[in-house]
Structure 1
Amino acid sequence: MALITCPTCASEEISGKPQPDGRLLIHCDDCGAEWLRGETRRDPARPAVQSFDSLQASFPTPADVRPDVRERVMLLQSEFAMDRPEPDPDVEPYRARYAALFSRENLPSATPDQLLYFANSTTVADPGNVSGFNRAWKTAGPDKAAGQVRATIEHLLYGPESMRLEDRMTQLIEGSKKGLGFPSFKEALLTKVLCVVEPERFLPVVRYTAANGGKKELARTVFELDLPPVEKTAWTSGRLAVWSNDLLRSLVGNDLPDLQQAARFLQWAKDRPVLSRG
């Protein structure tokens, strides 16, 4: 240890204490300064923690779709266009009404009736079974329940700005922050909020994984892309919900810019017989 000198006082009265990660905590016995020396030793039994950016960069992209699959999807889009269903005339006025209601200025005045109708309506996006939400609403009472739903939507859309949308969504889905969120106002209804507020970005496919065709299943059956399973620390529910949406949006949105129609196409395409896929 005599070869090590303190960077603060230049003393050679140095002692060291090994750390669990393989580094050495150096202590100057004269001035009390401390610093770490050496490189971190990673436990091979514990996977390295990946940053948000590195995880997002490793998520599948449109470039990962094979050329033959792209060609098949283009043929399916042409087939779909020949018998495309008419747009639902209720979608645009509904979306405009709730987009205005969920603005930062108007959200505090959203009424219990407006919020309860939003959760139970299938317009724009079908949230599926909302019986759990309705039970929680009845138990809490309309005024308290509406206050909690307003706070949930506010956290999702507006804050805190230091936290990414993906991670705010994870907090609300998993209930990881005490006192935040409303029972059963989870992934499906949170996604529906995003579909209303950002209709040019978010597809009305409200679950990452679902037996009848979540975003993970659509990526696999239509584009032959395997997306990761949800887990708690890296591939979290909110990150996968948003990233899979953006992936599917990129894959179909240019040819089908109306994302209501794009979602219909994906659900239709996943059920095409193998023969029609060429």
Structure 2
Amino acid sequence: MAEITTRIVRVFEVPRRLLDDFLAMPEASQVGVYSLVGDGDDADMPSLYIGQTGNVGKRLAEHNEKKDFWSRALVIVSLTNSLTQTHVTFLEWQCIKEAKQVGRYQLENGNGGSKPHTPAPLEADCLEIYDTMRVLVATLGHPIFEAVAKPVGETNAKELFFCTAGGANARGEYTAEGFVVLKGSTGRLENVPSIAGKSDERFRQKLLDVGVMAAEGDKVVFTKDHLFRSPSMAAVALLGRTANGWETWKASDGRTLHQVMRQPAS
């Protein structure tokens, strides 16, 4: 459970196997917004479903019967039990819009929700609630509304790393979550024979299948900023071969990622 003491928003992270424990809590009967989160990996985004309801417990029980993909739910309610249907309808629409824009998760929603008629003071309240829930769900380890890379124009050139081996032309950022290959980066399409039929080949094909990379001639192009758990998997995606990303990714001055991040400054 997470909250900010000066705000009215409370967020529960509910592992699916502990759903019955949440259903027994008084908050389960409240009006609320919720997200169902499924696991992902380096090649595939985690799944996400965003919804709203007048009774979060009842709705989650229904999803437990009908939806297989999720492993945990994030439930957003009010400490004062003061959320209305207009609040949660607006918040559902806002959350879906922002999650799509950020692109960290594969949305399972069939539509984008609908923005209700919201007077300006009520909309301001909703946006304040959204800002609070955005911080809280990220604090719980689910950065649904946080970009994987800094916005264009905010990245310092010294923070960028480059991969130019094997004909690649790629840019990336090393972050607290892993390594982000930036949109527009290119690599080789063909795999080397040594990974044929192995996990690295399947990994690259999955990136193509889900649309993270697209084939253009003899190249692959990243269609979006994409987070990898390690620099090495980011390098494999670009080069079509086994690679040590700590040596392959280099800063603009030629130092490797290993030299920049792992070796103490002299």
Q: Do both share a fold (TM > 0.5)?
A: no
Q: TM-score, normalised by structure 1?
A: 0.23
- Select the structure that is richer in strand: 2
**Quick check: which has more Rg, 1 or 2?**
1
